[in-house]
Amino acid sequence: MSGEGNASARGKEPPAGAALLAAADTGVVVLDADGRVVWSNDAATRYLGVDATTVGGLTAEVFAEQVAPRLADGEGFVDAVSEGGVDGPNRELHVVDGAEDRWLERRTHPIEDGEYAGGRVECYVDVSDQKHALDRLDRRERTLRAVHDILLDRSRDLDDRLDELLDVAGRMLGADHAAFARFGDGRVLVENVISSVDAAVAPGHAIDTSETIAGVVSGRDALVHADDAAERWPDRHPVGVAGDAGLDYYVGVPVAVEGEQYGVLSFADAAPKQGGLDWELTLLDITANSLGHELANSIREDRAEEQLQQARREFESLVQDVEDYAIFRLDPDGHVESWNRGAEEIKGYEERDIVGEHVRTFHTEADREIGYADELLDRARERGRAVDTGWRVRADGSRIWVNAVITALHDDDGELQGFLKVTRDMTERRAREKQLEHERERLEFVNRIIRHNLLNGMNVVEARANILEGHVDDDVAPHLATIQERVEDMTDLIETMRTFMKAIVEGEEHESQPVALDDVLDDELAKADRAYDDATFEHDELPDVPVLADDLLPEVFENLLTNAVQHNEGPTARVRVETEVGDDEVVVRVLDDGPGIDEAVMAHVFEKGQKGFESPGTGFGLYLVHEIVDSYGGRVEATNRERGGAAFTVGLPRP
């Protein structure tokens, strides 16, 4: 075959420029005005699996039918090629029958002049690398979300969460064996195991630290990663495995609690892994750190329970008028003997209705079935005190979240006389604290990922793109400029998010203070006017009035103005800003003349990652607006206007 590619069986000359196209990585198929194949190059043969020497002269439909069996959607490909449209949207093709899984992007261009005028050129670009990279990003996002949800789900037992965490992390690393073990007295105690390895042991197994690779992790006090573990440490084996199981691949990361080594997360497999695992290992390191915090919380709770002092004997006379606490005495078997005003208020029972009833009366049906009330009494008998936080049932059947302390009462001879129970209604406080704690920890987790991964990654992309500047031809230069511009935009967005989350999480420089609203609006309107040539921005006289905010306020209006322009489908966008000064707040409305907000996304428009109606943005702009305004004690709403378009209303408190 010559460098001119494959000519038609009808003897026509190859198209102009064929010498260059013949060796190109882009698959090229040329069709004449009758819709017949007249030329194709080697890349087309390689990608599409057709015999280049025989396709010449075939109609577009027959050509497509030969290619179709190799594709995941062969029927769709035949329809697209047979229709013969040009300048249409790009179409991805998934090649499933071949030496390797491949993704192609099909592009169709008309031939305007020359021998084949009226025909078209079919181009097939290999985008497999980009497609696989997106798949990897998707898997990473799902893993990150799963790890985040497991670590912050305080409603579940930590031991159950550890099992799930090992499963998720093991699948992320491609390891068949995963275990968590605790260090102590020169031994490693296995506490959790998720494994398909025959030699795996059950939780509770203990072994000398020197016989496990966990000892290496402990000695280095850092993550250990090896593809030749059996050869490197022939006298040691992974935690949770009895003896030599031929597990060459190993990852171990230490878990510290309050600055001290506590245990180790271990993962192992028989086969070494292909490709880099930098992102996965970084996430595993962060996961171990977060797990250490969870273990510290659990240990502190147990410690607090054990260190509680024993209460004195009955003191009904001292607590009878207390209304914030239910304080009452139980006999040695757990029956109510006394009742105070707080107990009546919290539990809903009058004294005559509850005295003589067993304490299990206040427990949920599920707790009664497992005998949880008796378990708490037994714990108080053995330890002197039992502390519990959980759901209880009031007289009317409603549930309340309480903190309860049961203290064993003994006489001078040490004989059990009964129990004193003090209960506090924590329902409202629990809901408030749970929401605040969840949001704060989520921001801390995301902020850590932004610092360690996203920003560093964007800096690398920016540096590499700058190196290419001046070394690309005129056709590629606009694409490079677009990359540089988008990298700069994303870096600015990441910096904004870091500033915002630092203010929320760390509480630094985020105290609201008087800010001149007219200056902020004037600056942002001017910036938007310069940025969008085809948009018109209108406003009445801006009010000379301060609002309670901080230096993030410009971000609010920059995002709202940008949102108004980007969601306009017409050739021009018209945006109007209206203000209204009230006694307690100043209202700013950003109105556009676009298509409005789809009712399907209206309720979720301020949620993170919500783009809405084919938005070109990141999906974080409106979420950022909501979070900033909410931190000021303000409000933000989205509605559709009767005359068309969307309206975003921001209410900012006055000093």
Confidence check: pLDDT of 490 > 70? yes
Q: Report H helices in 567-651.
A: 599-602, 621-631
**Residue 2 pLDDT:** 40
| 11, pLDDT greater than 90 | no
Question: CA angle, 475 as apex, 471 and 478 as ends, to 5°?
Answer: 80
- Element housing 180 (H / E): strand 177-184
Region 539-560: mean pLDDT is: 90
What's the CATH number of domain 316-425, 3.10.129.10, 3.30.450.20, 3.40.50.300, 3.30.70.520? 3.30.450.20
What does CATH list as the number for 134-298?
A: 3.30.450.40
CA angle at residue 442 from 440 to 445, to 5 degrees?
A: 110
65-90 per-position pLDDT tens digit? 989 998 988 888 888 888 876 555 55
Q: What is the model's pLDDT at position 616?
A: 42
Query: In this model, does residue 499 exceed pLDDT 70?
Result: no
Please tell me the least confidently modeled range out of 197-206, 351-360, 444-453.
444-453
Q: Is residue 197 exposed (0-12), middle (13-18) or buried (19+ Cβ within 10 Å)?
A: buried
For the residues of 313-377, what is the DSSP string, one character each? S--HHHHTT--SEEEEEE-TTSBB----HHHHHHH---HHHHTTSBGGGGS-HHHHHTTHHHHHH
Give the span between the Cα atoms of 550 and 513, in whole angstroms.
Answer: 6
Tell me the per-residue pLDDT of 240-249, one tens digit each, with 9 for 90 and over: 888 777 888 9
How much helix, strand and coil, in percent to the nearest 5, is found in the chain?
40, 25, 35
pLDDT at 405: 93
Tens-place pLDDT, residues 157-195: 888 989 999 999 888 888 999 999 999 888 999 999 999
Nearest-CA neighbor of 214 among 247, 248, 190?
Answer: 190
From the number of C-beta atoms within 10 Å of its C-beta (0-12, 13-18, 19+), residue 107 rates as: middle
The pLDDT assigned to 314 comes to 45
315 is written with which tokens?
């003191």
Question: What is the pLDDT, as a whole number, of residue 382?
Answer: 93
How much of the chain exceeds pLDDT 90, in percent?
31
Q: What is the mean pLDDT of residues 298-315?
A: 60
- Section 265-294 average pLDDT: 84
Tell me which of 493 and 405 has the higher pLDDT. Answer: 405
pTM over 0.85: no
Q: Which CATH class is domain 513-653?
A: alpha beta
pLDDT at 451: 63
Q: Where in the chain is the domain with CATH 3.30.450.40?
A: 134-298
Considering the chain, tell me which residue range(s) the CATH 3.30.450.20 domain(s) occupy.
Answer: 6-126, 316-425
pLDDT digit string (tens) for 90-135? 578 888 876 677 889 988 889 888 888 989 988 999 888 888 777 7
Residue 615: band (very low, low, confident or very high) from pLDDT cuts 50, 70, 90:
very low
Mean per-residue pLDDT, 493-504: 67
Distance CA 322, CA 330 (A): 18
Assigned fold of 6-126: Beta-Lactamase (3.30.450)
Residue 19: in which H helix or E strand, if any? helix 18-22
Binned at pLDDT 50, 70 and 90, residue 469 comes out as confident
Three-state secondary structure call for residue 203: coil
- Here the tokens at position 629 are 């305004």
Q: What is the mean pLDDT of the chain?
A: 83
pLDDT at residue 288 tops 50: yes
